[in-house]
Amino acid sequence: MKIEINEKKKINLYDDSIQIFLSLISNKKKVAFFTANHEEAIKLKNKIKLFDPFVEILVFPDLDCSFFSNVSPTKPILLERIKTLFKLITSKKKRIIFIGPINSLITKTIKKKNLNFFDIFDNSKNTYLKLSNFLKQNNYEFVDTVRSKGECCVRGQIIDIFSPLENKPARILYNFEEVETVNFFDIYSQNNCGTINNYLISPTSEIIFNTDSIKNFRETFRKFKIKDKDDFYKSISNQNIIPGSEQFYPILYNEYDSIIDYLDYFDFFFKEDSIIDFEDKHSKVIKDLPSYEKEVSKESNFFEDKNIIRNQIKKKKYIYLLKNQ
């Protein structure tokens, strides 16, 4: 495959040449680098942080499960992905390094326009009822004691919540519908530990089961006569989201966005063999799908088209192919 590029650089990003890489991108505000896998992405992030602890690094892992397999992506993966998606569209930092495995180009994600967040300090929106509904509609786990991201607890006029976007959980005390106080609290002692000036609440993942997505799921499920999944069909139809329901992500929405759609104004960096690696992995993913899934992949735009990826990459301002020595 031929790709228009501005320049080639030979550099090994996993040894002492990290400084060279940072020097190379020092005049670029936003950089996207695609690695061979998620482990490589984490390793690169940690290396860069040693040399530049203040740069914002966003990692976008690929989904760690097969679709239509009765298995859901793991919670840490979903939380990391939704945090990165929101940071890409809301971060005010001028310098951002995005790192994602090449597999993250194979499947798409939720459209940017469908990503909603809840601002605790927006008085026009933050009422007890509105927040309670947001938590239910965006797949928060209701627990007795909040200790992890994606969890919430409702006790009378108090709502405890741990947003995927934040480093600490928040405790909101309402006076009927209006907010009275908002504090951080400790996940171990459960005691308040400081007031809050701003706090954003996002969905727990990009896989959101709401009225529209469930309707689309039901229609597509019936259209392709998906077999041996009737228990999931009945549960999801009744808004009872049981473990494994996320396997239907490819038929949950009418439209999806590529991760590239989130990377406006980013300069792209690839290893020299990444494009070949992408095409090989893309072909394998489609080949391994059962027969009805192949039909789904043709109609759903969830699985990325290789030609579209080529064209999207060509439109980027810079493309550097980096090769390990």
Based on the structure, what is the number of domains in the chain? 2
189, 183 contact by CB (below 8 A):
no
pLDDT tens, position by position, 109-141: 999 999 988 888 887 777 888 999 999 889 899
User: Which of 164, 181, 201 finishes a domain?
Assistant: 201
At 2 the pLDDT is 35
Question: Of 131, 166, 201, which residue constitutes the final position of a domain?
Answer: 201
Those residues with Cβ within 8 angstroms of residue 310's Cβ, 6 or more apart along the chain or in another chain: 1, 3
Q: What is the CA radius of gyration of the chain?
A: 21
**Domain-embedded: residue 251:** no
98 Cβ neighbours under 8 A, 6+ residues apart? 30, 31, 32, 33, 57, 58, 60, 84, 88, 263, 266
Does 101 map to a domain?
yes
Domain that holds residue 132: 118-201
CA 101 centroid distance within chain: 13
**Single pTM value for the model:** 0.84
Structural contact between residues 61 and 41, judged by C-beta atoms closer than 8 angstroms: yes
Range from 84-98, 180-194, 266-280 carrying the lowest mean pLDDT: 266-280
Instruction: Write down the pLDDT at residue 203.
Output: 94
The reply to whether 208 falls in a domain is no
Asked if residue 85 has pLDDT above 90, the reply is yes
Mean pLDDT of the 228-238 span: 93
Does the residue 252 lie in any domain?
A: no
Same domain, 188 and 270: no
75 falls within a domain: yes
| 12 and 64 belong to one structural domain | yes
- 3-class secondary structure, 67: coil
Helix, strand or coil, per DSSP, at residue 234: helix
In a domain, 193, yes or no: yes
Give the contacts of 18 (CB within 8 A, at least 6 positions apart): 47, 48, 50, 51
Write out the two tokens for 261: 């759609």
Identify the pLDDT of residue 37.
Answer: 84
Q: Which of 91-105, 220-234, 306-320 has the lowest mean pLDDT?
A: 306-320
Distance from first CA to last CA of the chain, Å, rounded? 22
State which of 146-155, 251-260, 285-294 shows the largest mean pLDDT: 146-155
**Which positions ≥6 away from 324 have C-beta within 8 Å?**
12, 13, 14, 271
